[in-house]
A = this chain, B = another copy of it.
Amino acid sequence: MGYLKFNITAKDGKARTAILKLKHGSIMTPELMPVATKATVKAISSEDLEDLGAQLLICNTYHLMLKPGADIIEKIGGLNKFMNWKKPILTDSGGFQAFSLGLALKHGTGKMYHPNKGEKLQSSKKSFVKITDKGIFFRSVYDNSPHLLTPEKSIEVQEKLGADLILALDECTSPMSDKSYVKKSIDRTHQWAIRCLKAHKTDQAIAGIIQGSSWKDLRKKSAKFICSLPFDSIAVGGSLGKTKLDMHNILDWIYPYLPEDKPRHFLGIGVVEDIFEGVERGMDLFDCVSPTRSARSGYAYVRPPLGNKMNKFRIKFTTANYKIDKRHLDPNCNCKTCKNYSLAYINHLYKSEEMLAHKLVSYHNIHFFLQLMEEIRTSIKKKGLKKLKRSWGL
């Protein structure tokens, strides 16, 4: 459909390394993409991202269509020009935010944060969202204005935003949705996939999304259907069940249907353990806000031996213990933050509500994940993924 080339360069079990060529350049996979929700990775400039070696970013259609609006970004020349980012960009379809700011609130699940303030919204708040076969009706979190996001509208907006790789609109079901609802919902998602492909006119690559929650037959049905369509890339979305095992099962069930020669995006995944499990099950692309959101919540990612499964590879750098600590966030890290600043200084900046705290720790956390992904790629080339995983205590 669009411009995308995917050449596998090495395999280790189901895991693979590849070169993914998109309009704005080639990237190496497996890779995690920092999330630039509103056309900025929070507190991080494009120069910083370049410096970090980030290979691609993902931006949120929901937020950008509302603010500043897709027409404005189109007039400026598209997202790459708008953000001054020269490498590839993905955009999501808007469906996930419509879910996470709508039904997820009703069900007390999902990411219940107001996009501006990082504050938890009241889960008692009325759902902003109504989903029909036509599309997703929602009210803007910015000004309560009404919007109808149809598959055609999502594609139109994403074409204006101009990313290298766009996503088809899907319905993201809640872990609380029952099977009969999800059964109907995947049929809707499949119809929307067809409508997205039909509406899609540019040379942007496009990915379809497998849904089906944690039911084996539904995940299989969705995988079979989505993978039969001429998408350039396949994504796995929606509820991944209640346990790690559910998540592993889902990836195992759909695996037989995934075309070998298309990249696979494990949507919204960014926990260290899940990245290893995803890569081991053939996933190529990951995206997660955790590097930047954790930083703003006072957590820094740390490698083994400081980091382990128990502490989720994070330290709470805001605790009083670190007030006079001359060491760095992670003695085993060589990022610019760790080379230049002490825990004591970062602790002070955070306690003093200084923006620089968020910048320095976000930078470190993104570096942590990009380095992890690089090590994963190297290990696959050496058929040593399992060994690497063990060295991380996983």
- 8 of the cross-chain contacts (CB-CB < 8 Å) are A38-B349, A40-B349, A68-B351, A76-B326, A76-B344, A82-B348, A84-B340, A355-B359
List 8 additional contacts besides A68-B323, A84-B340; criterion CB under 8 Å: A38-B349, A38-B354, A44-B356, A46-B340, A67-B351, A72-B348, A82-B342, A84-B345
CA distance A294 to B358 in the complex (A): 21
B residues within 8 A CB of A349?
38-40
CA distance A294 to B91 in the complex (A): 33
Q: Are B340 and A68 in contact (CB under 8 A)?
A: no
Q: Are A355 and B355 in contact (CB under 8 A)?
A: yes
Q: Are A76 and B342 in contact (CB under 8 A)?
A: yes
CA distance A82 to B326 in the complex (A): 9
Chain A, interface size category, equals 35 or more
Closest beta carbon of chain B to A292's beta carbon, Å: 10
CA distance A63 to B351 in the complex (A): 12
Closest beta carbon of chain B to A325's beta carbon, Å: 9
Q: Are B116 and A355 in contact (CB under 8 A)?
A: no
> Contacts A43-B356, A47-B340, A355-B358 known; A348 to B67 CB distance under 8 Å?
yes
B residues within 8 A CB of A351?
67-68
B residues within 8 A CB of A68?
323, 344, 347-348, 351
Q: A353: CB under 8 A from chain B?
A: yes
Q: Are A336 and B47 in contact (CB under 8 A)?
A: yes
Kindly name the residue among A68, A336, A360 whose own CB sees the greatest number of chain B CB atoms within 10 A.
A68
Q: A83: CB under 8 A from chain B?
A: yes
Q: Chain B residue with minimal CB distance to A82?
A: B345
Closest beta carbon of chain B to A259's beta carbon, Å: 37
Q: Are B76 and A356 in contact (CB under 8 A)?
A: no
Q: Are A43 and B323 in contact (CB under 8 A)?
A: no
B residues within 8 A CB of A358?
355
List residues 248-269 of chain A with CB under 8 A from any CB of chain B.
Answer: none
Closest beta carbon of chain B to A275's beta carbon, Å: 26
CA distance A39 to B353 in the complex (A): 12
B residues within 8 A CB of A340?
46-47, 84
B residues within 8 A CB of A324?
72, 75-76
Q: A42: CB under 8 A from chain B?
A: yes
Q: A132: CB under 8 A from chain B?
A: no
